[in-house]
């Protein structure tokens, strides 16, 4: 090995000597801006250098990048897309990335979320071969299921569920317009952003979501609660419903408290 040097903002960057037979040199590159006021000692302190990739990657996943590497970095011969790597502005590169990300989400949101690690192919997912239960998990005997966005894809979702709560800011067009919701089914969207992108919306929508779920559960309807990956927002709603209305005794299957169904029966009798 040997020493190397480079330039950056007038400072020399020195790579120390190392045994190339025993060690591999790893160079970490950060996309964050440097704040000179935070410089205490070498090296520079760079805020956000190790996380928040969703903020600076423009939605580009590793799988999406490598499968479109030439289009993003080099000339792919398509004049319409202007994908020449040399002389291209940052704005043009960003435009290409935006197109790729939007197309991937449109073609198959589940594939996009899991970077190609989904259980079915894009074609199978789009033609409705798999129903909603394939992408969801039933919670005990509560009548609730938690799933990914794919579990709420119409029209196959209605084969397995009577009511669907969508806790994301993304909606299938058929459901958003109401045209894809059968007369005997129920659908509600609570537009909550994913993870730390959301500040207050989950809290604001939680009461509405809980009322929608319990109203359908007491009528013995199969309820799906889904977000993008079935791991955060949908879980929060299911936990709230469970804590308020379900039997939490150890060793027993999670199910609605008897007073929930009894109260619903008595109300129906009073109305009739």
| pLDDT of amino acid 36 | 63
In whole angstroms, how far apart are CA 194 and each of 37, 189, 266? 32, 14, 39
Closest C-alpha among 121, 130, 180 to residue 150: 130
| pLDDT of amino acid 54 | 61
Rounded CA-CA distance 151/132 in Å is: 4
pLDDT in tens, the chain (272 residues): 334 444 445 456 666 777 777 877 777 766 655 666 655 555 555 555 555 666 667 788 888 888 888 888 875 445 454 444 455 676 788 888 888 888 887 766 555 655 433 333 333 344 444 556 678 899 999 999 999 888 999 999 999 999 999 999 889 999 999 999 999 999 999 999 877 677 788 999 999 999 999 999 999 999 999 998 888 899 999 999 999 999 988 777 889 998 887 765 554 554 44
| pLDDT of amino acid 10 | 43
Rounded CA-CA distance 165/179 in Å is: 16
Number of residues that make up the chain:
272
| pLDDT of amino acid 73 | 83
118's tokens: 């989904």
Contact 113, 149 (CB under 8 A): yes
| pLDDT of amino acid 180 | 94
| pLDDT of amino acid 22 | 80
The SS3 call for residue 5 is strand
Task: List the beta strands (DSSP E) in the chain.
Answer: 4-8, 11-15, 136-138, 144-147, 163-166, 186-189, 223-226
Q: What is the pTM of this model?
A: 0.57
């Amino acid at each position: 090995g040997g020493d190397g040097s480079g330039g950056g903002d007038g400072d020399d960057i020195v790579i120390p000597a190392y045994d190339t037979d025993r060690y591999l040199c790893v160079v970490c590159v950060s996309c964050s801006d440097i704040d000179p006021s935070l410089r205490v000692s070498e090296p520079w302190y760079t805020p956000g250098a190790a996380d928040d990739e969703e903020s600076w990657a423009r939605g580009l996943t590793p799988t999406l990048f490598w499968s479109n590497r030439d289009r993003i970095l080099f000339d792919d011969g398509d004049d319409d897309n202007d994908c020449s790597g040399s002389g291209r502005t940052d704005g043009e590169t960003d435009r290409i990335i935006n197109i790729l990300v939007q197309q991937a989400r449109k073609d198959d949101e589940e594939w996009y979320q899991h970077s190609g690690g989904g259980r079915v192919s894009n074609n199978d997912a789009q033609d409705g071969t798999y129903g909603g239960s394939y992408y969801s998990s039933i919670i005990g005997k509560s009548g609730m299921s938690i799933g990914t966005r794919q579990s709420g894809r119409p029209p196959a979702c209605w084969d397995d569920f009577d009511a669907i709560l969508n806790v994301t800011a993304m909606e299938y067009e058929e459901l958003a317009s109401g045209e894809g919701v059968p007369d005997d089914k129920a659908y509600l969207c609570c537009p909550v952003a994913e993870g730390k992108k959301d500040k207050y919306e989950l809290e604001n929508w939680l009461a509405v979501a809980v009322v929608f779920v319990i109203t359908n559960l007491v009528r013995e309807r199969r309820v799906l609660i889904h977000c993008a990956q079935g791991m955060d927002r949908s879980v929060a709603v299911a936990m709230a419903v469970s804590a308020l209305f379900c039997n939490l005794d150890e060793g027993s299957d999670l199910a609605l408290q008897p007073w929930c169904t009894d109260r619903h029966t008595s109300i129906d009798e009073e109305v009739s």
